[in-house]
Structures are given as C-alpha cells and as structure tokens.
C-alpha cells in the first residue's frame, strides 16, 4: 500500500578515478540510474564528485575546469524526463574565481548551484589555496550552460507537486561550523538537508561525524543526508573511508560501511509528515525561525509528482516497545526508575504515608505493586507499610485470586482480603437493580465498591491509594468513572498496555524471590480482564477485554501515531496495514480503528479529571500536560474519514 507523506532519498558514492572526468561522469550516471530504478526522489553524491576532492593544484588547470563543465552539461541532460533529482559536486569557475560547488539537477535543468561556505585551511586542509568561499560571490544568479541559474547558500529547493519535499544543500566543513548554513535552511522550511563531503578518516572521527549529523537533524527536526568521498581519492597523506549517513530527527536511519573498495549506495524512506508535525508542535522551533529572518532564504520551486512506490520499511507494529532486546531492557530500566523516583517524591512530600493498593492478579496492579515495593526499598521503609488489598467479586477466578495472594506474600507486604459480593448485593437492593442483569450497572457497581474501600482504607491507615490504570485504558476510557479511574497517585498512567507486559517481565527477570518469579510468570500469561462478569462454567475468565474493546496492540498503534505525530486516519490506516499485514486484514484494522476514535473522543471527560501520575514517554494524556482537549468535542471528522476508507476498500 502506498502511504502518503514519504520521500525516498538516496546517497551514492561512486568509485572515482582522480582527474578522469569521463569515467567519473559515467560512474555518477550509473548510480543515478540505480536511484531512478529504486524510485528515489533524489540522490546525493560526494563533494567534488566529478573530479575527486584531492586534485590539489590541478584545480587551477583550465582543462580540468572545462571538462567539469562539460560533465555538468551531460549530467543535466541525463536527468531530462526523469523523476529523480541529482545533487553532485564539482569545481566551477565564476567571475575569475573557483568555487567548490554542489549542483542540483532535475528534468534537464540546473535548479541551483550551492558553493561551499567554510573552507578549512588548518592541519591537513588547504582549501583556500584553490577555492573562494561562498561569501565572495557578488551575484545571486549566474549564466551557465545557457541557463540563468540561482547561486548561493540561501537556496531551498521546494516541491510544488504532490509531496512536501524541500531541501537545502551545504558542503562538508559547513556542518563543522558553529552555525552551519543548514541551520538557516532548516529553520526556513527545508525538511531534508544534504551534505556533499570529503572527510578523511582518523581514529574516532567517524563517531564525531555521526554525532554531528544526528545532532543537526535533531536540532532542526529534519532529515540529514551526508555523503563522503571514499576509495579513489588520493592516499598520498590521507585516507577517505566513504562514510555515508542518513539521519532523521536525531536517529541514524541508514549508514554505509567505511573503507569499502567498491561503490556504495543506500536509500531510505523519510516520513516528511513526522518532521512537519514536530516543527508545528515546537514553539522553540517557531521562535528560532523568527530569529533567523536576518538571513532570508530563497525558495527554488520544482514540480515532482508523487511516485507510486510503496515504502520499503516494515513499520514496527509496537511503536512503544523497542524491538531490540538490549534497548528494550534499557527502556524498561529507565521507565521503572522514573516511576519509582516519582512515587518516592510523592510519598516523601506527604510525610511518608502508607501505600494502599488494590491487587487483582492482573498485569496493571502487579506493575503498580512492583513499583511501590521498589520505592519503599529505595526509601528504606518497611514493606509492611504497603497494604495490598484483594477484593474478590462476582467475576474473580481462582487463578487471579491465588496469584494476587501469593504475590503479596512473596513480596512480604501487608495483606487484606475484603470480599465485595455481599456489599455489592446490598447496593443492588438499595438501587433496585436486578443482580441477574449483567449490564454496565452490574459491572461498575463492583468497580466503585472496590475504589470506595481503598479510599476509606487510606483514611483508616493514613495512606494514599496507588492507582493502577495504564495509558491504553485511559485512551479508550476503559475504566469506571470514579471507580478504578480514580486514585491518589497513578504510577502507570503513562505506560501503554503493550509495554506493561515487558516491564513486569523485566522485573521478573531481576526479581530475587523464586516464588515471586513463578507467580509473575503466570500473571504474564493471564488474559487481560476486569473480571466483573461471572466466570465460565469451568471457572475460567469469561470477560476478556480485547474481545470486547479490541486488541491493545492495535489501539496502542493508533494512539501513538495520532498523538505523537498528529497523523490522519488515512495515514494511520496505511501504516497499520503495513505493520500488521500478516495478522489482521484491512477490514479488521478499520473496524477497531473506528472503535478507537469513538471511544477516544467520547471518554475525554475521564481524562480531564485524572489524578497525578508521572510522564515517562513522548505521549501523555494528562490534562495538565500533553493533552488539552474539550470533553465535548466530536470525533465526526475523523470517523467520516474512516467511513470513506471503508467504502474505498470494499
């Protein structure tokens, strides 16, 4: 499926033959044609691709300059009628000076020329011996190959066609400067930044180079393409490793091997919508953008239709959970530390009260209990000041009941068991409700009875009620208002359901008690359920949440892309089809997406009255923090788009 908002970008490093412009031009064409076959929107080449970077005093030779211009003409003509933009490096003689330039070629035209701003002349570098820097240019356009061509470091190349692709160009040392030209380009609209480079290799230099590229992409909320010269450059005194990097908003998306004796080529799909959203969302970016107006960039338009390619990346179906086991372990450790540190502060501020927590034998209350136990250990407090309360009701199964009791015993906390059936039955009499009618009143009466007990116990024992509800439940409103929706501090309020399981598993692995490990293992394999309906005839859980409200992995996926990047239902649907193609069909994805949007808008009133809880990730539903929306806003706009998707997929 084609997904809107992506641009495919490529980086190509040909094998150069120093001074053999004919051979180099053919190598450039070969890589360009490969990018064309891969439906790339643009391909970036290294600094001085046409000649090689290490030509030294030969740059002053007229023959070299003349043939470089001929190569430019040939490369420009080669792009005629083709979809892919070519960005290539070469020396150009302009007004009796030589400039180290990047040329942007498309559809048989030179869209613009970008000269290098900062010419290193220190240590092994001697660039001012051969080149003039960009600031020496007197004109903003030049006559070249019978074209009037914009020239300067202030050019932003902007697509006027179907995609939001816009890019700026800088050259090698420009990135090393305190304020690179790409800073202004990025602040004034360029989503993709390109660097033609010839960076020699030294011990640890690649790490620094990588950090520069990733850092610049993060600061400007952009993609950054870096392409450096490699094999073929002179090794008289230096070695060039051919390091190529594609970064997106601080993350390295793709990277070449260094020191390859062969040409290198790599490409990546960049989600432009993500970058646009982050810029819109950041007032810091807007303020810096205003301050950058002292250096105004020129927009150079080109028209590039959106190609019919499918994105090459497999979308991760679990965006909240790192797929790499080492990163996942680090993420769990950090989240657990945030939770325990936050709870420690709250307990310390109140005056070290006891902690009251309802234990059901399910994942959420288990995680909340583990956080509370760790917090008390950090504060060097007796675990007996944690009062775990199990409150079996009409739907409690032996499995969850026993797991709740055994886990509390294994963790050495104070245990209270308060059955709620008698109190709820009396409540049914009081409100004249038929106990055989298993409706929402039947369910919520149990949830509110449990919360009332916990609140009253907090008064009795001088404690605070620790909330157990997670981020996914809050997004869907899958909580009883003034029931399990309410607490005095919600330690799980920013943890999505898909991550809760991994956190409990991580604690289990690191848990010293063998008995606790065994219980946690069984809890991890227990179906998610509020257990508010009577068990099946064989004593198993009858009410499985995901059969009623939908798979949490889908809802977490919708939540992530809706709130983190503001994506439309159409784009989220396309991403979901890609991510879950072997698990859910398109109709199932649409049906549960409709449930998600309906519940997300209808249940905002619950999120508007949330108790405090620590933010741990980029998505938080706190009305005091990341999500401010009216409780009575309609979701009709989003639901109508889902209906259109359903009609178009039939």
Distance from C-alpha of 295 to C-alpha of 287, rounded to nearest angstrom: 15
User: Rounded to 5 degrees, what are φ and ψ at 21?
Assistant: -65, -35
Characterize the bridge pairing of strands 97-106 and 109-115: antiparallel
CA distances from 440 to 151, 152, 347, 533 (A): 69, 68, 35, 10
CA distances from 362 to 374, 457, 470, 529 (A): 18, 21, 12, 8
Environment class of 155 (CB within 10 Å of its CB; exposed 0-12, middle 13-18, buried 19+)? buried
Distance from C-alpha of 102 to C-alpha of 202, rounded to nearest angstrom: 25
Distance from C-alpha of 530 to C-alpha of 479, rounded to nearest angstrom: 9
Distance from C-alpha of 226 to C-alpha of 175, rounded to nearest angstrom: 10
CA distances from 221 to 4, 95, 288 (A): 19, 37, 12
- Active centre residues (catalytic): 47, 116, 172
Environment class of 261 (CB within 10 Å of its CB; exposed 0-12, middle 13-18, buried 19+)? exposed
DSSP strands (E only) in 515-593? none
CA distances from 68 to 59, 280, 522 (A): 10, 42, 70
Residue 194, Cα to own-chain centre: how many angstroms?
21
What is the number of other CB atoms lying within 10 angstroms of the CB of residue 346?
20
What is the number of other CB atoms lying within 10 angstroms of the CB of residue 114?
30
Write b or e for each residue in 363-400: b if 16 or more Cβ atoms lie within 10 A of its Cβ, otherwise e. bbbbbbbbbbbbbbeeeebebebbbbbbbbbbbbbebb
């Amino acid at each position: 499926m084609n997904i809107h908002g992506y641009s495919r970008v490529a980086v190509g490093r040909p094998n150069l033959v120093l001074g053999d412009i004919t051979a180099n031009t053919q190598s450039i064409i070969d890589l360009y044609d490969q990018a064309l076959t891969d439906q790339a929107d643009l391909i970036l080449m290294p600094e001085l691709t046409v000649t090689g970077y290490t030509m030294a005093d030969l740059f002053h030779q007229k023959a070299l300059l003349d043939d470089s211009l001929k190569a430019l003409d040939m490369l420009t003509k080669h792009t005629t009628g083709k979809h892919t933009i070519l960005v290539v490096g070469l020396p150009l003689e302009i007004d009796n000076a030589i400039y180290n330039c990047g040329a942007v070629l498309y559809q048989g035209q030179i869209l613009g020329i970008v000269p290098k701003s900062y010419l290193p002349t220190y240590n092994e570098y001697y660039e001012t011996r051969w080149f003039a820097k960009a600031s020496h240019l007197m004109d903003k356009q030049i006559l070249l190959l019978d074209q009037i061509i914009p020239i300067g470091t202030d050019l932003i190349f902007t697509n006027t066609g179907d995609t939001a692709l816009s890019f700026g160009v800088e050259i090698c040392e420009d990135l090393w400067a305190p304020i690179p030209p790409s800073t202004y380009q990025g602040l004034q609209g360029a989503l993709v930044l390109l660097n033609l480079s010839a960076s020699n290799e030294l011990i640890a230099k690649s790490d620094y180079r990588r950090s520069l590229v990733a850092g610049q992409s993060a600061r400007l909320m952009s993609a950054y393409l870096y392409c450096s010269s490699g094999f073929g450059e002179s090794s008289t005194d230096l070695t060039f490793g051919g390091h190529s990097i594609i970064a997106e908003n601080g993350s390295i998306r793709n990277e070449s091997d260094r020191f390859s004796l062969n040409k290198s080529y790599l490409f990546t799909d960049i989600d432009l919508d993500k970058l646009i959203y982050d810029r819109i969302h950041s007032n810091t970016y807007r303020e810096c953008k205003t301050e950058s107006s002292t250096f105004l960039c020129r927009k150079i338009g080109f028209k590039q239709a959106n190609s019919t390619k499918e994105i090459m990346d497999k979308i991760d179906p679990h965006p909240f959970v790192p797929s790499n086991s080492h990163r996942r372990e680090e993420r769990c450790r950090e989240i657990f530390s945030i939770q325990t540190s936050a709870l420690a502060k709250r307990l310390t501020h109140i005056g070290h009260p006891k902690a009251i927590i309802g234990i059901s034998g399910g994942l959420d209350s288990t995680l909340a209990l583990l956080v509370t136990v760790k917090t008390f250990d950090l504060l060097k407090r007796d675990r007996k000041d944690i009062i775990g309360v199990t409150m079996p009701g009409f739907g409690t199964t032996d499995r969850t009941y026993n797991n709740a009791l055994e886990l509390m015993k294994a963790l050495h906390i104070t245990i209270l068991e308060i059955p709620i059936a008698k109190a709820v039955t009396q409540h049914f009499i009081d409100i004249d409700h038929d106990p055989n009618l298993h409706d929402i009143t039947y369910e919520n009466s149990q949830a509110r009875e449990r919360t009332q007990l916990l609140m009253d116990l907090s008064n009795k024992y001088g404690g605070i009620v620790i909330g157990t509800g997670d981020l996914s439940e809050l997004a869907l409103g899958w909580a009883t208002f003034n029931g399990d929706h309410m607490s005095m501090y919600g330690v799980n309020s920013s943890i999505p359901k898909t991550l809760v399981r991994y956190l409990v598993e991580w604690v289990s692995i690191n848990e010293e008690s063998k008995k606790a490990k065994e219980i946690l293992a069984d809890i991890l394999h227990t179906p998610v359920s509020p257990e508010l309906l009577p068990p099946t005839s064989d004593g198993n859980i009858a009410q499985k949440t995901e059969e009623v409200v939908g798979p949490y992995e889908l809802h977490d996926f919708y939540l992530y892309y809706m709130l983190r990047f503001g994506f439309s239902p159409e784009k989220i649907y396309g991403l979901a089809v890609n991510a879950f193609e072997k698990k859910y069909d398109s109709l199932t994805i649409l049906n549960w997406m409709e449930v998600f949007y309906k519940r997300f808008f209808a249940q905002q009133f619950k999120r508007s009255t949330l108790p405090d809880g620590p933010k741990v990730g980029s998505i938080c539903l706190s009305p005091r923090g990341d999500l401010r929306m009216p409780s009575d806003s309609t979701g009709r706009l989003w639901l109508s788009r889902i209906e259109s998707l359903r009609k178009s997929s039939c």
